[in-house]
């Protein structure tokens, strides 16, 4: 009975989303598989070909031909991995990122069109049902493979900016005893981003593991709008709101989130990247140091109901750029 129900659901859903319309996925020249590969590359800044093959369960030869096509179209670049020269690191070019963003936009529009057919009062029921299917099948698959699913870095979905505020307040209260003053600070940072940010120069990432948000980070401009570098580009970016849920630690998510900010800031043309933290956040400080940040200033302060030592860390992204020391919480 379960087999028949699942087969019927598969036929229904693949027809609903147009998965069988080969070569015309989202009205682009890319197939569903090609679109999914571009999505993974756009949301996982440091992806090896072997990682893609394992994550998407693709044949090695097929993936190689697909990447060759992308390279020929100017969408990706390939180079030896920094960790293992025997592996290939795949990165999107600017054209590839534009293509991935277009596909993502059209995918959101297509899902929005589907949801328009659902009564608003039944949408939470639909979301819960899909989450149940994903949790049951995903958990069983992970158990069979002896591992958890691969983490994905992506843009926040509607409502997840609020999740970032809530989880910062809860986690920092539980681990460091911070009071609601800290949650208020995070709320202001998130609200400022939501109301007034430049998507070319500022971005938020959510880390998702097994379909559940488990982390966050933000990159925002830290200069006045009129300030420009020698080449006319932006000068200083600020890393903010790094968080990894306790149960998701040990998977390298913190390093990946920081790496996403560094890569984005460098590609956006910033000269330097800065951040402010407190000395009690020892695990985060170790990640910043491994990413190349340097501690440039410390100052004692009493905030969030605790006596703390605030720290300014900086990372130069361009040779010859002058380090600007500015202590700004978070």
- For residues 107 and 189, state if they share a domain: no
Q: Are residues 186 and 59 in the same domain?
A: no
Domain assignment of residue 143, yes or no: no
- Contact assessment for residue 214 and residue 244, using Cβ atoms and an 8 Å cutoff: yes
| Whole-number pLDDT of residue 146 | 43
Report the share of the chain in percent with pLDDT over 90. Answer: 44
Whether residues 35 and 92 share a domain: the answer is yes
Estimate to the nearest angstrom the gap between the alpha carbon of 227 and the chain centroid: 28
Q: How many beta carbons lie within 10 A of that of residue 263, not counting itself? A: 14
Q: How far lies 65's CA from each of 33, 109, 199, in Å?
A: 12, 29, 33
**Domain endpoint, select from 102, 117, 132:** 117
Write the DSSP string, 74-125.
TSEEEEE-SS-TTSEEEEE-HHHHHHHHHHHHHHHHHHHHHHHTS-GGGHHH
Q: Does residue 303 form part of some domain?
A: yes
Asked if pLDDT for residue 144 goes beyond 50, the answer is no
Q: Decide if 231 is inside a domain.
A: yes
The answer to whether residues 63 and 53 touch, using CB atoms and an 8 Å cutoff, is yes
Identify whether residues 85 and 227 lie together within a single domain: no
- Considering 60-69, 123-132, 266-275, the range whose residues carry the highest mean pLDDT is 266-275
Tell me, what's the pLDDT at 51?
75
- Report the percentage of the chain scoring pLDDT > 70: 82
Token pair recorded at residue 49 = 């070909």
* Residue 199: C-alpha distances to residues 101, 195, 204 (Å): 12, 12, 9
Q: How confident is the model at residue 142 (pLDDT cuts 50, 70, 90)?
A: very low
What is the pLDDT, as a whole number, of residue 147?
47
273 pLDDT tier (thresholds 50, 70, 90): very high
Look at residue 141 and tell me if it is in a domain: no
Cβ within 8 Å of residue 22, ≥6 positions away? 31
Residue-range definition of the domain harbouring residue 299: 152-316
| Burial (CB count within 10 angstroms: exposed 0-12, middle 13-18, buried 19+), residue 314 | buried
pLDDT digit string, tens, across residues 59-86: 888 888 889 999 999 999 988 876 666 7
Q: Is residue 138 part of a domain?
A: no
Domain assignment of residue 79, yes or no: yes
Cα 224 from Cα 216, distance rounded (Å): 25
Tokens of 112: 């929005």
Domain match, 81 and 170 both: no
- Residue 132 domain-assigned (yes or no): no
The answer to whether 269 touches 318, Cβ cutoff 8 Å, is no
The verdict on residue 287 lying in a domain is: yes
Query: Which residues are 77's β-sheet partners?
Result: 91
Q: Residue 75 belongs to a domain with what CATH number?
A: 1.10.10.10
Given 117, 142, 174, the domain boundary residue is 117
**Residue 106 sits in the same domain as residue 159:** no
Strand order in the sheet with 294-303: 152-154, 203-209, 212-221, 236-244, 272-278, 306-316, 294-303
First to last CA, the chain: 54
pTM, rounded to two decimals: 0.56
Domain with 301 in it: what CATH number? Answer: 3.40.630.30
Are both 108 and 177 inside the same structural domain? no
Q: Are residues 227 and 158 in the same domain?
A: yes
Query: How many structural domains is the chain composed of?
Result: 2
Are residue 173 and residue 113 in the same domain, yes or no? Answer: no
Q: Are strands 76-80 and 88-92 parallel, antiparallel or unpaired?
A: antiparallel
Same domain, 193 and 298: yes
288 and 213 in a common domain? yes
138 CB-near residues (< 8 Å, 6+ apart): 149, 210, 211
User: Per-residue pLDDT for 135 more than 70?
Assistant: no
Query: 208 and 253 in contact (C-beta within 8 Å)?
Result: no
Return the bridge partners of 106, or none. Answer: none
Question: Which of 177, 313, 168 is CA-nearest to residue 244?
Answer: 168
Q: Are residues 67 and 202 in the same domain?
A: no
Question: Which of 117, 138, 160 corresponds to the end of one domain?
Answer: 117
């Amino acid at each position: 009975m379960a087999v028949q129900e699942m087969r019927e659901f598969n036929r229904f859903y693949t027809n609903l989303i147009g998965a069988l319309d080969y070569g015309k996925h989202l009205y682009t020249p890319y197939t569903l598989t090609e679109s999914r590969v571009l999505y993974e590359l756009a949301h996982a800044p440091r992806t090896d070909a072997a990682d893609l093959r394992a994550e998407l369960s693709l044949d090695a030869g097929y993936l190689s031909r697909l990447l060759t096509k992308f390279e020929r179209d100017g969408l990706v670049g390939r180079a030896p991995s920094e960790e293992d020269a025997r592996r290939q690191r795949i990165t999107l070019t600017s054209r590839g990122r534009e293509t991935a963003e277009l596909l993502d936009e059209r995918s959101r529009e297509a899902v929005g069109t589907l949801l328009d057919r659902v009564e608003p009062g039944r949408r939470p029921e639909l979301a819960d049902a899909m989450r149940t299917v994903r949790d049951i099948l995903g958990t069983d698959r992970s158990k069979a493979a002896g591992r958890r699913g691969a983490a994905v870095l992506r843009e926040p979905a509607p409502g997840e900016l609020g999740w970032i505020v809530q989880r910062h307040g809860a986690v920092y209260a539980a681990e460091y005893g911070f009071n609601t003053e800290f949650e208020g600070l995070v709320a202001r940072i998130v609200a400022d981003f939501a109301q007034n940010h430049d998507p070319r120069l500022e971005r938020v990432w959510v880390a998702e593991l097994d379909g559940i948000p488990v982390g966050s980070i933000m990159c925002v401009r830290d200069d006045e709008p009129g300030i420009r570098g020698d080449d006319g580009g932006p000068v200083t970016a600020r890393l903010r709101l790094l968080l990894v849920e306790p149960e998701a630690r040990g998977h390298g998510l913190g390093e990946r989130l920081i790496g996403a900010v560094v890569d984005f800031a460098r590609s956006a043309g910033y000269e330097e990247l800065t951040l402010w933290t407190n000395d009690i956040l020892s695990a985060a400080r170790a990640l910043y140091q491994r990413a190349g940040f340097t501690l440039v200033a410390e100052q004692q302060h009493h905030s969030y109901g605790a006596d703390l030592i605030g720290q300014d860390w900086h990372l130069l992204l361009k040779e010859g750029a002058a380090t600007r020391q500015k202590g700004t919480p978070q």
